[in-house]
Structure 1
Amino acid sequence: MRVRTLPTMSYNMSLAVVRDTTLEEIGVDDPTPVSFDLATGSAEMRLMGAQVGPHVLVADALLGARVTPLAAELGRQVYLVTLSGVSDTYVLEAHGPATRLLVHAAGEVVENRGEPLPVEALLASCDDLEDAHLALVTALAETVPDALWHATFVSLTSEGMPF
């Protein structure tokens, strides 16, 4: 089965789901709304966040380097999905009470640490690893693709945070 959640293209971005958190808890630096495409674009160097239900979706141009400390800082579960279509590398990480690292490169698992997450069943249901990892983000955020792609992102503050 091939599931296509977005137009055909290759993505190079990191998306994190910070569970049971609000934008206010993290802090907003600039409330000017930005689209998904702009928030995840290579030109956006700010840490960008969107409220998606009870969770915050974070786009980090530095491939998660600034968002993973949120797990320890806020005491929340953070799931990070990195898509690097240029290098055909896809990564799923979990930081917090549950820890996980699963790395696919050129269609093969090259690193596999921690217990598999239940949402990983989605990886077997898609022919394309990029599509599958985008489906992971949707499942981890407990929402539908349209809610992610149409979310309004704002610039997150770095004041007091380890990024």
Structure 2
Amino acid sequence: MFSQPDYLVLRRQPSRFLGMLVIVFSALACAALLRSGLPPLVATACTLAVVGYGIWIWPRQVSLRHAQSITALRFDSQGWHVLRRDGSETTARLLADTFVSAFLTVVRLREPGRWLAVSVILPADAAAEDALRRLRLRLRFSRQRWAAAE
């Protein structure tokens, strides 16, 4: 048995499962708002906010067509790197609230100079199976996964 190099590249692809989840949960949220006891104007405003958020999130997380959507993650000896569709690459720090399971992985990263953290949502069909498995293993069993790269 040989040792894997301390290098990982995960290339994202559009996810049908994530698209289905966004549509189903947005529809359920809109139905719940319209059937609730809220005044009609408030319920309509909240429904428009849910639909607007779905339209905003679709090109960034589901179809990956927005210029700022994250298309790849890379881990090497220098730490985590975020690669975007427009060709830019930035370093990032892995946050402790990263979630790992067999069906869904949410990688939370903080880029230097950005106020908000970046979430990369990775269902099982969002990347190559081997790369996603290696990412999950790295996130679960790395001893210093949140330590800054030196």
Normalising by the smaller structure, the TM-score range is under 0.3
Larger radius of gyration: 2
- TM-score scaled by length of structure 2: 0.25
Q: Quick check: which one's strand share is greater?
A: 1
Higher relative contact order (CA 8 A, sep 6+): 1
TM-score by length of 1: 0.24
Larger % of helix: which?
2
